[in-house]
Amino acid sequence: MKTQVCIVGAGPAGLLLGHLLCAEGIECVVLERRPPDYVLGRIRAGVLEQTTVSLMERLGLDARLKQEGLVHDGFNLADGERLIRIDIAGLTGKHVVVYGQTELTRDLMEAREARGLEVIYEAADVTLHAIHSDAPFVTYSKNDVPQRIDCRIVAGCDGSHGPSRQAIPAAVATEYEREYPFGWLGILADVPPCNHELIYANHSRGFALASMRSERRSRYYIDVPLTERVEDWPDERIWDELAIRLGPEAAAHIIRGPSLEKSIAPLRSYVFAPMRHGSLLLCGDAAHIVPPTGAKGLNLAASDVHYAAEALTKFFKRGDGEAIAGYSSRALARVWKAERFSWSLTRLMHRFPEDGPFERAMQVAELDYISSSRAAQTSIAENYVGLPV
From the list 292, 307, 327, 350, the catalytic residue is 292
Strands (E), the chain: 5-8, 28-31, 47-48, 70-72, 75-78, 83-86, 96-98, 118-120, 124-129, 137-142, 145-150, 153-156, 174-189, 199-203, 206-212, 218-225, 259-273, 276-277, 280-282, 288-289
Distance of CA 311 to the CA centre of its chain: 22
Active site residue 384: yes
pLDDT digits (tens, 9 = 90+) for 265-287: 999 999 999 999 999 999 999 99
Mean pLDDT, each 10-residue run in order, the chain (389 residues):
97 97 98 93 82 96 96 94 94 96 95 96 98 98 97 97 96 97 96 97 96 93 96 98 95 96 95 98 97 93 98 97 96 97 97 94 96 98 95
- pLDDT score of 42: 74
Choosing from 296, 306, 327, 350, the catalytic residue is: 296
Amino acid at the residue 225: P
Running DSSP on this structure, what letter comes out for residue 226? T
- Is 72 in the active site? yes
C-beta separation of 165 from 237 below 8 A: no
- pTM for the full predicted model: 0.95
Among 12, 19, 72, 140, the active-site one is: 72
Q: What is the dihedral of CA 112, 140, 299, 322, to 10 degrees?
A: -100
DSSP three-state, residue 114? helix
296 is catalytic: yes
Angle at 109 between CA 112 and CA 24, to 5 degrees: 40
Active site residue 19: no
Q: 140, 180, 200, 307: which one is catalytic?
A: 200
- What pLDDT, on a 0 to 100 scale, did the predictor assign at position 358? 96
Domains of the chain: 5-44+101-176+269-345 (3.50.50.60)
pLDDT at 43: 65
